[in-house]
Amino acid sequence: MPDQRFRVTAGPLDANAVAQIVASQDCGAIATFVGIVRDEHGGRRVLWLEYEAFEPLAIKAFARIDEEAGERWPSIALAIHHRIGRLEIGEASVVIAAASPHRPEAFAACRYAIERIKQIAPIWKHEHFEGGDVWIEGATADPMDEEVRRMAFAQCS
C-alpha cells in the first residue's frame, strides 16, 4: 500500500485530512501550509493553472524531503499532497502538514518542505492568463546538491 503521507492527485486537496495523517497523541502542534491559486502573477491576470508532474519521482522527492526534515527535526511527522491537472482561482495546489511535540519544529519543517518542493520535485506549472499562457520553470536543483539544501534550511531560521 502506498504511503498516504505523500500524494500527487487530480482530486481536490483537503488540508484537514492531510493534517490528520500526521496527527498523534504526542503532537502538541500541527502546522499546515496550503498553496492557493491566485488571480495575479507578474502583473498579469491569471485565469487558471494546470500542473503536471512525473508522479513516481515526485513521490520520491516528497519522501526525500521527509527524510531530510527528519534529520534536522527528528520529532516531526510530515505529509505532502500536490494537485495536478486544471486548477481554478482559489483552489489548493499543495498541502503540507508537519506535526511535532512543539510548534517551532512544526513551523520550520513545513517551511522547509515547501522550499524543497520548489527545488527538487518534478512538478511543472502552466499558467493561463489574459492574452496568453506560459510554462513556469519547475524544479531544477540536483537533490544531492548540499548548497541548495542549505539554502532551503536557511529559509527556516
The model scores a pTM over 0.75: yes
Using 50, 70 and 90 to split pLDDT, how confident is the model at 154? Answer: confident
Return d(Cα 150, Cα 152) in angstroms, integer: 5
Beta strand pairing call for 6-9 and 77-83: parallel
* Per-residue pLDDT, 1: 67
Q: For residue 19, report the phi and psi dihedrals to the nearest 5 degrees.
A: -60, -40
Domains and CATH numbers, the chain: 6-154 (3.90.1170.40)
Return d(Cα 98, Cα 30) in angstroms, integer: 6
pLDDT one-digit tens code per residue, 18-73? 999 999 999 999 999 999 999 998 889 999 999 999 999 999 999 999 999 999 99
